A and B are shown apart, each in its own frame.
Chain A
Amino acid sequence: MRTLTHRLIVALLVLFGILGCSSRHVLTVPEPVPDDRRTIERPGSQHFNELGDAFDQLIIRQGEQLLDMSRGFRHMTNRLHQSMNINAFDEVENSSWFTNRNAHQRMSIEDLNQGPNTGTGPSLEGTWLIQRAKTEGVTPGFTIEDSRGDHYVIKFDPTGFPEIASAAEVIGTKFFYAAGYFTPENYLVRFDPSILRIDEGVLVSDGRGGQRQMIESDIEEILSVVDRLPDGRIRVAASKYIEGRPVGPFSFVGTREDDPNDIIPHEHRRELRGLAIMSNWLGHVDTKAGNTLDSYITDENGNSYVRHFLIDFGTTMGSGGRGETPPYRGTENEFDPHEFLVNIFTFGLYVRPWETNFSVPYRSVGYFTAEDYDPSVFKPMIPNAAFENMTWRDAYWGAKQVMSFSDEQIAAAVAQGELTDPDAAEYLVNVLIERRDIIGRYWFSRMNPLDNFTLQGNIVHFDDLAVTTGLEDAETTSYRYRRISDFSSDCGEWNHSDECSIGVESNGIVDGEPYFGYEIQTRRGNQDWSNWVRIYLRVQPSRANLELYGLLRQEI
């Protein structure tokens, strides 16, 4: 028995050793991902059930992962699979999933305010024809057709929490769209309930598992639990039907079989992994498949393909759908076996930060705070496979999206939520700014935040994002760099610079080596040198000039 244990231990040690030591950092230029905006046949609508998905994500997939030794070893040795849709510079190209926007080039306040909107929202002239209605539950709602023939999902604020969900919906939309995701057009609307009419044949649940014809009193019942403005109107978020033909939500795992453009498993997509950081910042805990939508659209180039949308931001920031968000959200899954067991066996002595600092200063904002905010912890309500596969490089990319928002942009986006209480709006802006900076400090201290590399002559210029975003002072920051090769262990001498640029050798190519690189480290004040970033150069195949070839970031 002892011998067997001994053998097992030795075998495991050997395995760990191999997995841990065999990772030599060399540039691997990822295989290019074909443009996924090519015309395809219209896919069918995907069957989707929220309960089944929750069971899948909470139970089936977690069990599978638990017994997946490969995954376990990769986690232990920190050799997780990198995202599969990145280019040589660790960025994502524009696709049917994502468009590089604010982090690529800062949007104007006007563009940010405009967001995905192409109009002004539902027409308040004429009537709103109710075409679907949800009469039961704590969050009732309508689907309407306005006098222009446009369709909108009308979402109410929960009783006693005026503005909370509608503001979150609109503000969240601005941020996610500006970051680069596709979102619906969400508008804030104040309407007079007298414009509501019931379309023919509208069915509602009879509360007994069946359906019946909707009648006028159902409208009254729905509106009876909705707060009204002093003039009798009702403030709602109106979400315009997404363009194209909806073909069901997308999963955060695997690919869509009937979409030949979809070849990258979603859990290995950079923009979905990095979404964890955006969601963490904005408290978007409800990142389940049910809050996504695929739509078969035809774009401005005439190509018809599936575009992937994030929808429903009503439970972002401090909004919890039924009121303020419960304080544990974001740190625990809705049912979290791990936390459950930790709670049981710590006998109530383990006190979580949210247990002590729960306060709701503004009912229109809900529970949203920067106090005790830990950017390393984020658990959505239902486990998300893409988030669970996130590497530091993905997180850095996500942090870059978050840090791309300036104070002015944040204030402008919050203003779109039209919070009546200016103190509440100011509080929300401050919390978002603080959380943004906490995220930036956390990830920009773990990853060397040198970015936007360009080559001018023999000088490589770059931005130090920690400095450009104001987190660190340029005066106390210095850099060192040296020539390196992936093909030999020869390294050049360290050179030092206080500027965001390095001089490179114009004839740095050694015979037989297709490219060469420079390793750059950063020092802030008296701290140690940071993780490195390696920028690689090669001679252009057609001309004799140097060009940037790729980039590699040290993760641990």
Chain B
Amino acid sequence: MGVTMQFLLCRNTLAILLLSLLLFLPLSRCLADNPQDTAETDSTSQWESPRSAETTGDRILAAPGRVIYFPFKICLQGMKETFEYVDENEIVDKIRNFLTAYDDSWGFYPTYNATHGVGIYYFHRDVFTPDDKFRVESSLGLNYRQFYEISMRRVKFFERRLTTRWSARYHLMPDEHFFGIGNNTSHKNEVEYMVETWAVDGGLEFQITEPLSIEAFYGFEHNWTDEEKDADDDAPYDPSDPSFNDLFPETAGFHEIIEMTRLELVLNYDSRNTRGNPSRGINARVGGGFYSQVDDDIYGFTKGGFDLRTYHHLFLGRTLVLRAAGEFADSFDDRLIPYYYLPELGHYSTIRGFDRGRFRNNDMVLGSVEYRYPVNRIWKRGGADAVLFFDAGQVSSDIFTHFKAKEFNTAFGMGLRVYTSEELLVQANCGISREGWRVNLQLNQ
């Protein structure tokens, strides 16, 4: 068999060789540079037609690529024409100037993230005091996902050392996922639910020193959770698709309207060298809050936490970002904690590579290592960095007594950040975990 195959292979090779020689010997001659052969002279006119460097052989060899490229070229030519039209008619300028003020004192910007959907926000600076910013955002996503917010930020008093901010928002997330409580939950028990939140809050921040400030918040939140709010609400009940109540009947806070007030105190430390692409400094938040149900004593808890990010410039624009974070919730007076207030892991801000809210419990710890390196620079105006990251975290009913190193959920991945010196414009990450890969995109967040 082997000998026969060898013979066939050898015979085929010889045949191909002969065929190739027959085909390509004339082609090779065609490929030889001989301008006298290729120049096309128009003998009827004193003007010679433009010459071509391409020989017949070139044309033959180039033909397949040209045929393949043709549809792409048509599209790209169309894009080129569009760009030219947009450029020559200053359409970008017109849109930008329609949507923003010349001095950037007000404007509309597009925004996107996975929890809010696609939206637009309007801002207006210097309403009451210099640097303050009034902002209204409206975002929509799939399945009626909605987010509306009106906020006032950075209103400064007393020689700019006291800053206030307030906001009011409405957030409807119709298809959130719940997997149960703890690290050992699985996608088998995954259910979807709807959560609707009305919230108002206000904060007062006091600048102690340049990087250090203390901030106090007071807020009110009206929450309602229910079964998944699908576009097709009239669909008949499907027993193979278990509901939240079927799987997690004891979960605190589900299918209820709960109104909570909260009071929080947070210490901020921010010594980053820039906001857009920090390479040095520390950004830390330590704080805690008190959450209590309005008009009832069923729900009430305290929640504390920290989030520390340190930025280390390695060399020539390469930066290492280390992050450690923890969140700890504890009920008081035998009250309960609504499940959606529990510390959670998963998604772009915690462990990239898992679904949002993949792990929940009373306590959460998180560690992350991120390596950023430049891939494109727009000189002095910004650029793009690639990101390699490794995230690890776990949840626990009591992290201090039940901490288990082997229960860490880990993910790694790669991403891209596009930034200016002042802000992060776009961030895209692809995280890989034991549950597959997840892509996340943020724009103007």
Tell me the A residues contacting B by CB distance below 8 Å: 3, 6-7, 10-11, 14-15, 18-19, 22-23, 28, 30-31, 34, 49-52, 55-56, 59-60, 63-64, 66-71, 73-74, 79, 81-82, 84, 207-210, 254-255, 260, 262-265, 268, 320, 322-323, 326, 328, 335-336, 339-340, 343-344, 347-348, 351, 355-356
Tell me the B residues contacting A by CB distance below 8 Å: 9, 12-13, 16-17, 20-21, 24-25, 27-29, 31-36, 39, 47-54, 57-62, 64-66, 68-69, 72-73, 76-77, 79-81, 83-84, 87-88, 90-91, 93-94, 96-98, 102, 315-318, 371, 373-377, 379-380, 386, 388
Given contacts A15-B24, A265-B52, A343-B376, contact A68 B62 (CB under 8 A): yes
Contact residue among B16, B28, B102, B386 (Cβ-Cβ distance under 8 Å from A18): B28
Contact (Cβ within 8 A) B72 A63: yes
Contact residue among A7, A55, A326 (Cβ-Cβ distance under 8 Å from B83): A55
Task: Please classify the interface of chain B as helix (H, G, I), strand (E, B), loop, or mixed, using the class held by over half of its residues.
Answer: helix
Q: Bound complex: CA of A323 vs CA of B58, how far in Å?
A: 45
Contact (Cβ within 8 A) A70 B57: yes
Contact (Cβ within 8 A) A10 B24: no
Contact residue among A22, A322, A335 (Cβ-Cβ distance under 8 Å from B376): A335
Contact (Cβ within 8 A) A14 B21: yes
B420: min CB distance to chain A, Å: 15
Minimal Cβ-Cβ distance residue in B for A16: B24
Q: Bound complex: CA of A240 vs CA of B9, how far in Å?
A: 72
Contacts of A55 in B (CB 8 A): 76, 79-80, 83
**9 residue pairs A–B, Cβ–Cβ below 8 Å:** A3-B9, A70-B31, A70-B58, A74-B31, A84-B53, A208-B97, A263-B47, A326-B379, A343-B386
Contact residue among B53, B76, B318, B374 (Cβ-Cβ distance under 8 Å from A63): B76
Contact (Cβ within 8 A) B87 A49: yes
Contact (Cβ within 8 A) A81 B53: yes
Contact (Cβ within 8 A) B373 A19: no
Q: Bound complex: CA of A210 vs CA of B93, how far in Å?
A: 9
Q: A6-B9, A7-B13, A15-B24 are known contacts; what are 6 more A-B pairs with Cβ within 8 Å?
A: A10-B20, A49-B88, A52-B83, A74-B31, A263-B48, A340-B375
B299: min CB distance to chain A, Å: 48
Given contacts A14-B24, A18-B24, contact A67 B68 (CB under 8 A): yes
Minimal Cβ-Cβ distance residue in A for B35: A31
Contacts of A347 in B (CB 8 A): 371, 373, 386, 388
Minimal Cβ-Cβ distance residue in A for B68: A67
Given contacts A6-B12, A28-B34, A340-B375, contact A209 B93 (CB under 8 A): yes
Q: Bound complex: CA of A344 vs CA of B79, how far in Å?
A: 27
Minimal Cβ-Cβ distance residue in A for B29: A22
Contact (Cβ within 8 A) A11 B16: yes
Given contacts A263-B50, A340-B375, A348-B318, contact A68 B31 (CB under 8 A): no
Q: Bound complex: CA of A454 vs CA of B39, how far in Å?
A: 30
Given contacts A28-B33, A30-B35, A34-B48, contact A68 B65 (CB under 8 A): yes
Minimal Cβ-Cβ distance residue in B for A325: B379
B384: min CB distance to chain A, Å: 8
Contacts of A69 in B (CB 8 A): 61-62, 64-65
B14: min CB distance to chain A, Å: 9
Q: Bound complex: CA of A6 vs CA of B377, how far in Å?
A: 44
A159: min CB distance to chain B, Å: 13
Contact (Cβ within 8 A) B90 A209: yes
Contacts of A320 in B (CB 8 A): 379
Q: Bound complex: CA of A513 vs CA of B78, how far in Å?
A: 56
Contact residue among A49, A66, A207, A348 (Cβ-Cβ distance under 8 Å from B374): A348
Contacts of A351 in B (CB 8 A): 315-316
The 9 closest A-B pairs by CB, nearest first: A348-B373, A67-B65, A209-B94, A326-B379, A208-B97, A70-B61, A14-B20, A260-B47, A209-B93
Q: Bound complex: CA of A255 vs CA of B48, how far in Å?
A: 12
Minimal Cβ-Cβ distance residue in A for B53: A81
Contact (Cβ within 8 A) A60 B80: yes
Q: Bound complex: CA of A336 vs CA of B29, how far in Å?
A: 36
Given contacts A11-B16, A343-B374, A344-B375, contact A67 B66 (CB under 8 A): yes
Minimal Cβ-Cβ distance residue in B for A324: B379
Q: Bound complex: CA of A343 vs CA of B316, how far in Å?
A: 13
Contact residue among A71, A81, A208, A262 (Cβ-Cβ distance under 8 Å from B102): A208
Contacts of A51 in B (CB 8 A): 83-84, 87
Given contacts A11-B16, A82-B33, contact A348 B371 (CB under 8 A): yes
Q: Bound complex: CA of A62 vs CA of B260, how far in Å?
A: 60
Contact (Cβ within 8 A) B69 A64: yes
Contact (Cβ within 8 A) B97 A209: yes
Contacts of A209 in B (CB 8 A): 90-91, 93-94, 96-97
Minimal Cβ-Cβ distance residue in B for A345: B386
Contact residue among B16, B33, B61, B317 (Cβ-Cβ distance under 8 Å from A81): B33
Minimal Cβ-Cβ distance residue in B for A64: B69
Contact (Cβ within 8 A) B16 A67: no
Contact (Cβ within 8 A) A64 B73: yes
Given contacts A208-B97, A255-B50, A343-B375, contact A52 B76 (CB under 8 A): no
Contact (Cβ within 8 A) B97 A31: no
**Residue among B65, B91, B96 with max Cβ neighbours from chain A (10 Å):** B65
Q: Bound complex: CA of A59 vs CA of B39, how far in Å?
A: 30
A344: min CB distance to chain B, Å: 5
Contact (Cβ within 8 A) A15 B69: no
Q: Bound complex: CA of A30 vs CA of B39, how far in Å?
A: 10
A436: min CB distance to chain B, Å: 26
A68: min CB distance to chain B, Å: 5
B116: min CB distance to chain A, Å: 29
Q: Bound complex: CA of A66 vs CA of B93, how far in Å?
A: 34
Q: Bound complex: CA of A68 vs CA of B379, how far in Å?
A: 33
Contact residue among A18, A66, A339 (Cβ-Cβ distance under 8 Å from B25): A18
Contacts of B77 in A (CB 8 A): 60
Contacts of A19 in B (CB 8 A): 28, 31
B16: min CB distance to chain A, Å: 5
Given contacts A263-B48, A265-B51, contact A340 B376 (CB under 8 A): yes
B105: min CB distance to chain A, Å: 13
Contacts of A59 in B (CB 8 A): 76
Q: Bound complex: CA of A344 vs CA of B373, how far in Å?
A: 8
B145: min CB distance to chain A, Å: 32
Contact residue among B29, B61, B69 (Cβ-Cβ distance under 8 Å from A73): B61
Contact (Cβ within 8 A) B17 A10: yes
Q: Bound complex: CA of A11 vs CA of B12, how far in Å?
A: 11
B280: min CB distance to chain A, Å: 17
Contact residue among B32, B48, B68 (Cβ-Cβ distance under 8 Å from A22): B32
Q: Bound complex: CA of A336 vs CA of B318, how far in Å?
A: 20
Minimal Cβ-Cβ distance residue in B for A326: B379
Contact (Cβ within 8 A) B80 A52: yes
A315: min CB distance to chain B, Å: 12
Given contacts A14-B21, A347-B388, contact A355 B35 (CB under 8 A): no
Contact (Cβ within 8 A) B51 A84: yes
Q: Bound complex: CA of A210 vs CA of B95, how far in Å?
A: 12
Minimal Cβ-Cβ distance residue in B for A11: B20
Contact (Cβ within 8 A) A355 B317: yes
Contacts of A56 in B (CB 8 A): 80
Minimal Cβ-Cβ distance residue in B for A208: B97
B3: min CB distance to chain A, Å: 16
Q: Bound complex: CA of A207 vs CA of B72, how far in Å?
A: 36
**Residue among B33, B87, B315 with max Cβ neighbours from chain A (10 Å):** B33
A204: min CB distance to chain B, Å: 13
Contact (Cβ within 8 A) A208 B9: no
Contact (Cβ within 8 A) B53 A68: no
Contact residue among B16, B61, B72, B371 (Cβ-Cβ distance under 8 Å from A10): B16
Contact (Cβ within 8 A) A52 B84: yes
Q: Bound complex: CA of A328 vs CA of B32, how far in Å?
A: 38
Contacts of A34 in B (CB 8 A): 48
Minimal Cβ-Cβ distance residue in A for B61: A70
Q: Bound complex: CA of A525 vs CA of B412, how far in Å?
A: 58
Contacts of A50 in B (CB 8 A): 87
Q: Bound complex: CA of A263 vs CA of B48, how far in Å?
A: 7
Contacts of B98 in A (CB 8 A): 208
Contacts of B50 in A (CB 8 A): 254-255, 262-265
